[in-house]
Structure 1
């Protein structure tokens, strides 16, 4: 495993010595999840009530200021150091023709990220964000989950531990993105196992597949879930979300799970980009619904199942722009909204400061 950032230092190619390296060690972290800083959130609410505007007039911007304060642990939230972390991997099921693009595009897009030619590069420049791109063994895709588990438990745990290294002190918000041909198929299989329903509830066009290719994608998800159905409860949903992640997931999705979990341990706010990243968060949510309280869904993907998934995890997206690119693009755009929330909260005058009469 290696990281190829467009800026900043690369990550190590192995987990840190003290990083959890088994699924049991990762499961144990759920008993240690820190909560929000309620005093910081209360301080923001108190100041919000004194600003020169009617109560609630800035709508969700006011909620975002409190959310940032609570997870940054600051009575005065700030957003000067955003980071975008994009995790990249290949998938065995890509060979079944579930995407409009060949698996070789994954590696080609990494080079595009490095050269600054992707959409996420432009958006990182716009929001002045540090971009890190983490490759996860692109020459060794996961197994085809129709025939075998995508990963064994050790591979899954190591990928999660690797993802945890993307979280460092001093990050104001962590924007999570992904790249990997075939990974909307993987996300669909994950969600079908986590929440039941029919495969058609969770399968969408992804990179734009239609007709026979779409039918193939639907069949792959159906067969993959059936292949591992012994991991499901009698009620039709997963007994152990981490085992299900290993069975039908991907290395980049496991790394995303690790990054989200590490961000929670470090009280770092997280913006989730799109269907695949939200599917990773759903694995943690299924274990403990409180585990992703430090996360916002950045945007509503045009991938149809994303709306249903947001409902399942109880998250209302920040933006709805009809996007479905991935790469962390929706998360990066949502940073602009959070910056607006912070600037309004910290820069506006109070009624007393401005000499403006308050509400009667």
Structure 2
């Protein structure tokens, strides 16, 4: 597969199916429009080219796990080995995304896409290296490696869909990764790092100026091309950011929805949607991340999340909660009674 073939496979939503879905929803036993954005969500899902119906949903969140060389610039307070520790905990079902996903019958698939550790037994691996380069000193990775990893991640998503998954979500795990995400968002939205860089996993406010300076340094040194999202990911991103962008493109190319998580996933979505603008129609934004810069990224994507919970855990935790909204929209669409047979007449 080439990147161009992947992009060319992404089809616009089927507007005819969406019109029929809207008519069906208006015929249900409720006032027209009374289920608000759940109705819009069901209509969006109905138009996705890979879905034949909304009845049978197998949901899975792919969590990309990787370390960052920029950790060495003192931009995180957690020890670097937390990435590997939490990846192992994820395999055991013990992390936040795992327990939240159980609530909606969603599977979690952690992927080692660049953890700074030896191979983890029973963990899916797309690892190119033990952590990406330090973006404050040079590129996160070579351009050709970014493209290779993007395609490998898209193919992983498509294999999971071929195995029966009909709704994908994305998440990430990696100490210091909010620094890279802030750099990507700053470049792709044309924003000043001061408006994007946040505290991440409880980074002290009094040291926030240092973190902002590292993002500025990374952009100045690497000079990423803001018209080439893959160049941006390669120069100031990270392995898991590339991986999530690949999953978005792979899901869209297969015609299935991909549920975004928070701040890190916004960075990947910005990149994916620059590479293939139609992919945006397959993105379901789960929640407003509490991380600074989230609003800027979402405005640029023109996406309005469904949940306001002040989450900033990452891992795909927000995506896990939003899976229940997808279930609700689909259950409404498939099982709600019809006005015509109810004996009820609402005013027009």
Aligned pair partner of 1:249 in 230, 234, 237: 237
DSSP-derived class of the 1:88 partner: strand
Q: Secondary structure at the match of 1:127?
A: coil
Structure 1 unpaired stretches of 5+: 1-19, 233-237
8 Å CA contact 2:106–2:323 kept in 1: the answer is no
How many equivalent pairs are there? 331
Query: Could you say which residue in structure 1 is the equivalent of 2:312?
Result: 324
- The alpha carbon displacement at 1:153 in A equals 1.5
Match of 1:268 in 2: 256
- The residue aligned with 1:16 is none
Summarize the Cα distance change of 1:54–1:66 in structure 2 as closer, same or farther, 3 Å threshold. Answer: same
Deviation at 1:284, TM superposition (A): 2.0
**What is the Cα deviation at residue 358 of structure 1?**
4.6
Structure-to-structure mapping, 1:1-360, within 5 angstroms? 20=1, 25-71=2-48, 73-74=50-51, 76-78=53-55, 80-139=57-116, 140-164=130-154, 165-167=156-158, 168-169=161-162, 170-229=164-223, 231-232=224-225, 238-360=226-348
- Equivalent pair of 1:173/1:269 in contact (CA under 8 Å): yes
- How far apart are 1:39 and its partner, in Å? 2.9
Are the counterparts in 1 of residues 290 and 311 from structure 2 also a CA contact under 8 Å? Answer: yes
SS in 2 for 1:315: coil
Residue in structure 1 matched with residue 122 of structure 2 by the alignment? none
Residues 198-250 of structure 1, C-alpha deviations (whole Å, 9 max, x = no match): 11111000001124532221111010001122x34xxxxx1311111100111
1:107–1:138 CA contact under 8 A, matched in 2: yes
Question: Over residues 30-77 of structure 1, what are the superposed CA-to-partner deviations in whole Å (9 max), with x where a residue is unaligned?
Answer: 344212122322221111111111110110010011111111555642
- Structure 2 distance, partners of 1:193, 1:351, is 50
Superposition deviation, residue 187 in structure 1? 0.6
Inter-partner Cα distance in structure 1 for 2:228 and 2:5: 14
User: Retained in 2: the 8 A contact 1:40–1:75?
Assistant: no
8 Å contact from structure 1 (residues 289, 313) kept in 2: no
Distance in 2 (CA, whole Å) between partners of 1:121 and 1:74 is: 26
Residues 275 and 301 of structure 1 are in contact (CA less than 8 Å); yes or no, is this contact kept in structure 2? yes
Determine if contact 2:33/2:39 at 8 Å carries over to the other structure.
Answer: yes
CA distance in 2, matches of 1:254, 1:75: 29
Residue 293 of structure 1 aligns to a residue whose secondary structure is helix
TM-score under structure 2 length normalisation: 0.91
Q: Deviations over 1:151-189 (max 9, x none)?
A: 002221222122111332332211110001111100111
RMSD: 1.6
Question: Which stretch of structure 1 is more off in the superposition, 173-182 or 135-144?
Answer: 135-144
Q: Report how far residue 260 of structure 1 moved.
A: 0.7
TM-score, normalization by structure 1: 0.88
SS in structure 1 of the partner of residue 290 of structure 2: coil
Alpha-carbon distance in structure 1 between the residues aligned to 2:6 and 2:205: 44
